[in-house]
Amino acid sequence: MKLNPLLRIQNFDQKIWLDFIRRGMLTSDELRRWIEDEGLSGVTSNPAIFDKAITGSHDYESDIETLVSKGKTPREIYEALTIEDVQRAADILRSGYDKSDGRDGFVSLEVSPHLAHDSDHTIAAARRLWEKVQRPNLLIKVPATREGLPAITRLIAEGINVNVTLLFGLPRYREVAEAYIAGLETRLRERKPLGTVASVASFFLSCIDTLVDSRLDKITKEGGPQAETARTLVGKIAIASAKMADHICKELFDGERFQKLAEHGAFPQRLLWASTSTKNPAYSDVKYVEPLIGSETINTLPLETLEAFRDHGRASLSLEENFWEYSTGLERLPEVGIKLDEVTQQLEDEGVRKFIEPYDHLMSVLEEKCTAVVGIS
């Protein structure tokens, strides 16, 4: 009998998290079944996921009506609904968190995307959410913007778990990892425990290929001396970036600076592969899963990608395979006139906007419901 690939992947010390949350899966046994039968060990969320869950189902109607009748604002309603979902998920995942000594079994909740370029308000919002949720297996999502870096350091220093989101570029990834280490160093100076705080760095993948491929395809169609080089790079840059990020991760967390922290119980910040649904129908639907299986990493999958990998995915230790071939691909991008740092900055800017839009959409829907209830009363 063929072993479920989702279970086999655990043999290589990679964890699978679900990039989706909805009230119905929490009040039924759906999430618990994924955990028990498929080896799922974490849940991530974002404003787009909550917008889809809340506006696309009837799971929240009665709670929304109750909150509106109590005079709550749209933002207060949003926080109440999302916090309850996250608390429920955290409780379902708690046994995995306890069994792993605080290394797994997490659920993520994001600060408002409107705060992506505001360090102080990001810190304040993260503190408030951490205090309200009151679960040790919560990760507060903080964007990997320039302004997010000091927030990461401050929150880690205060013992608040952080999921660094909207991470696209390798130089920024290095800064994110160093911000985490700096937060731990502050805790050590303040004689606070290091083994009680956790962090993951969510490196977004498919959107890198979507943007870079469009530029490579244009160069290929135009012909000329760069065309053949561009053709060979199509569909490879996201995976190459992930493999290079893993290389940087090992360099930093195997290094002397972090080892001093590890001696006091600190855990490395793990890489988490995000944006793993395949956008190009010409590519495999498990393109961002199979080549990135490696120890001490996490892959967070939307439902359709998770089901695809369970059905026909192949699980093998693959993250370090062909590293130099892929790194050469990154080095050749400038030959065709593409600067990866500019691409990833564009993706960061677009990513912030893409989270603001569903957040604002949900706020407008909740505002309409508030207005309707007031009109009836």
Q: Are 97 and 105 in contact (CB under 8 A)?
A: yes
**Is the pLDDT at 375 greater than 60, yes or no?**
no
By three-state DSSP, how is residue 220 classified?
Answer: helix
Task: Name the average pLDDT for the chain.
Answer: 95
**Which residue blocks in the chain are alpha helix, DSSP H?**
5-8, 23-27, 30-38, 47-55, 61-69, 74-99, 119-133, 148-157, 170-189, 206-222, 227-233, 237-253, 256-262, 303-312, 323-332, 340-376
Q: Are 244 and 206 in contact (CB under 8 A)?
A: no
Domain total of the chain: 1
Specify if 85 maps to a domain: yes
> Residue 371's pLDDT band (boundaries 50, 70, 90)?
confident
Q: Which two tokens stand for residue 215?
A: 């530029």
Q: What is the CATH number of the domain that holds 92?
A: 3.20.20.70
pLDDT per position as a tens digit, 319-350 = 999 998 899 999 999 999 999 999 999 999 99
Q: CA 53, 87, 275 angle in degrees (round to 5)?
A: 50
Supply the pLDDT for residue 374.
57
Specify if 328 maps to a domain: no
Specify if 20 maps to a domain: yes
Specify if 213 maps to a domain: no
Supply the pLDDT for residue 369.
83
Specify if 171 maps to a domain: yes
Percent of the chain with pLDDT over 90: 92
Specify if 198 maps to a domain: yes
pLDDT per position as a tens digit, 55-86 = 998 899 999 999 998 999 999 999 999 999 99
- Distance of alpha carbon 349 from the chain centroid: 16
Question: What is the mean predicted confidence (pLDDT) over 178-199?
Answer: 98
Q: Any catalytic annotation for residue 192?
A: no
Domain that holds residue 278: 5-204+238-314+351-371
Phi-psi region of 125 (alpha: psi -120 to 50; beta: other; left: phi over 0): alpha
Select which of 141, 236, 243, 287 is catalytic.
Answer: 141
Question: What is the mean predicted confidence (pLDDT) over 241-266?
Answer: 97
Specify if 37 maps to a domain: yes
Supply the pLDDT for residue 377.
44
Q: Are 52 and 24 in contact (CB under 8 A)?
A: no
**Is the pLDDT at 376 greater than 80, yes or no?**
no
Q: Are 10 and 35 in contact (CB under 8 A)?
A: no
Specify if 233 maps to a domain: no
pLDDT per position as a tens digit, 278-296 = 999 999 999 999 999 999 9
- Looking at the DSSP assignment, which residues form a beta bridge with residue 273? 203, 299
**Is the pLDDT at 249 greater than 80, yes or no?**
yes
